[in-house]
Amino acid sequence: MSISVGDKIPDTTLIKPTSDGPEKLQSSDFFKGRKVALFAVPGAYTPTCSAKHLPSFEENASSLKEKGVDEIACVSVNDPFVMGAWKDHTGAKEVTMLADGNGDFAEALGLTMDGSGFGLGQRSQRYSMLVDDGVVKQLNVEQPGDYSVSSAEHMLEQM
C-alpha cells in the first residue's frame, strides 16, 4: 500500500551529498517544521529525469518558494556520489539532492518499481509530493513511462 495525502512521511535514513562528503539524515528531521516540494526520479542521468524532471523544478524554484515552499528536493535510488555528480553536471542550484541508495525510503512510501528490464533493479516510481511539517499535502504519482503530473508546473497549478 502506498502513501496517501494526509499520511505522515515514514522515518528512514537518506543521504545528502555535500562538499564535505555524504551526510546522513533522518527523513523525519528533514521534513519537520517546513514545507518541502519533493520529487522522485527513477535514476539520475536517465533521459526524462535529466531533460525534463530536474529542470522543471530548477526553473520553477522561485515560483514554488513564492507559494511558501521552503526547500525543493529530489530523491532517487542512487548513491550520494552519483546524486552529487548529477547536481554538479546539470548545474542545479535550487534543488537539494537526496540519495536513497538502498531504496528504503521508496519502499517505506510504497512507491517502488521494478526496473530490472532496463538493468536498473528496484527503483523509485516517478512522483512529486508537497510535504508540510512531515505530512503529505499533495501526491502526484506517474503511470509507468509517463511524465506529466509530477512536474513542477503541475504542482504549481495545484497550489
The pLDDT profile of the chain, 159 residues, written as one tens digit per residue, is 689 999 999 999 999 999 999 999 999 999 999 999 999 998 888 777 777 889 999 999 999 999 999 999 999 999 999 999 999 999 999 999 999 999 999 999 999 867 666 756 577 889 999 999 999 999 999 988 888 899 999 999 999
Q: Is residue 81 part of a domain?
A: yes
Q: Is residue 123 part of a domain?
A: yes
Identify whether the C-beta of residue 110 lies closer than 8 Å to the C-beta of residue 14: no
What SS3 state is found at 14?
Answer: strand
Q: How far apart are CA 41 and CA 128, in angstroms?
A: 9
Q: Is residue 4 part of a domain?
A: no
Q: Is residue 147 part of a domain?
A: yes
Q: How far apart are CA 22 and CA 142, in angstroms?
A: 29
pTM (2 d.p.): 0.92
Domains of the chain: total: 1
| Type and span of the H or E element at 53 | none
Q: Is residue 7 part of a domain?
A: no
46: domain CATH number is 3.40.30.10
Active site residues: 49
Range of 120's domain? 13-158
Residue entry with cell 550520494: 80
**Beta strands 112-114 and 135-141: pairing type?**
unpaired
The pLDDT score that the predictor gives to residue 75 is 97
Q: Is residue 48 part of a domain?
A: yes
